[in-house]
């Protein structure tokens, strides 16, 4: 039996024995889960399990998979709409802008058609340019595409990532840089993807930072620090306090789990959902 088959059979058995017959409550936050963290589970199975756990959607799907969650009463909560844009090669380079705009002119309407509320974007790596120049370039690139997002009601979310451990040289590695860009673009359809795992590594001060900048945050990602594993006692973030803070701010977007589970994957996901139900 392959690892994929083993996980599939384990998932099916656990689902039959351990999942409630109806969705569990997820409190004031709309929680979802990132697809890539559960890549060994067929997407249909993951969607079925997510729905029973009480999740509202699946994060980070390609267009070909946008409609699969809808079979289970979910939605794709964050989509890939511009494959030309990657973590190292993004909006901070003017030479990329035309290709990104062309991709979004196709990808954003496609996302809207499938009721995908958000699409992901990246700053790109510094590669020797200053943060100020990169921010100005990113603003210029977003100004080219923000009207597309506004017209279709889809939010472009620039992801904040750490450059200390996982993504060396990535430019959007502090909240202040992302907020500067979002303020200058000044569109209701251009926000930040605030990844709590990455920002804990880079700057900490999570609760106050979220409170000060919630206006510019369109989406959240989770992940235990260190290691990006389960949201449990083996790591340093107080997830219940974070979740309560975000809920108290009346956040209406999605709070997506993006951790690589250790042990049985779906029980780890279920436990994370419970931890963050406030």
- How far apart, in whole angstroms, are the C-alpha atoms of residue 278 and residue 266? 20
In total, the chain counts a number of residues equal to: 278
Which of 101, 150, 233, 258 is labelled catalytic?
A: 258
Question: In the structure, how many helices (H) and strands (E) does the chain have?
Answer: 9, 8
- How far apart, in whole angstroms, are the C-alpha atoms of residue 231 and residue 229? 7
Which of 159, 183, 203, 233 is labelled catalytic?
A: 159
Give the β-pairing of 75-79 and 57-61: parallel
Q: Is 159 a catalytic residue?
A: yes
Give the β-pairing of 57-61 and 254-257: unpaired
Q: What are phi and psi for residue 32, nearest 5 degrees?
A: -140, -175
| DSSP 8-state secondary structure symbol assigned to residue 125 | B
Q: Is 203 a catalytic residue?
A: no
Active-site residues: which are they? 159, 258
């Amino acid at each position: 039996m392959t690892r994929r088959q083993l996980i599939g059979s384990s998932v099916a058995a656990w689902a039959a024995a351990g999942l409630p017959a109806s969705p569990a409550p997820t409190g004031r936050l709309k929680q979802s889960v990132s697809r890539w963290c559960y890549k060994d589970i067929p997407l249909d199975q993951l969607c079925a399990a997510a729905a029973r756990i009480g999740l509202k959607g699946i994060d980070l799907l390609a267009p070909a998979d946008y409609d699969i969650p809808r079979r289970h009463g979910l939605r794709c909560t964050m989509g890939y709409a511009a494959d030309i844009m990657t973590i190292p090669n993004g909006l901070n380079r003017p030479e990329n802008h035309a290709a990104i705009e062309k991709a979004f002119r196709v990808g954003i309407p496609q996302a809207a058609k499938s009721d995908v509320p958000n699409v992901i974007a990246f700053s790109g790596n510094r590669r020797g340019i200053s943060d100020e120049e990169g921010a100005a370039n990113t603003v210029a690139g977003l100004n080219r595409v923000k009207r597309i997002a506004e017209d279709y009601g889809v939010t472009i979310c620039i992801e904040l990532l750490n450059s200390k451990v996982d993504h060396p040289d990535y430019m959007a590695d502090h909240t202040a840089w992302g907020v500067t860009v979002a303020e200058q673009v000044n569109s209701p359809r251009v926000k930040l993807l605030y990844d709590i795992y990455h920002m804990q590594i880079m700057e900490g001060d999570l609760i106050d930072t979220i409170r000060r900048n919630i206006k510019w945050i369109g989406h959240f990602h989770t992940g235990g620090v260190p290691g990006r594993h389960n949201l449990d006692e083996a790591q340093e973030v107080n997830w219940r306090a974070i979740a309560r803070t975000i809920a108290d701010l009346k956040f209406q977007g999605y709070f997506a789990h993006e951790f690589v589970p250790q042990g049985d994957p779906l029980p780890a996901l279920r436990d994370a959902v419970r931890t963050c139900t406030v």
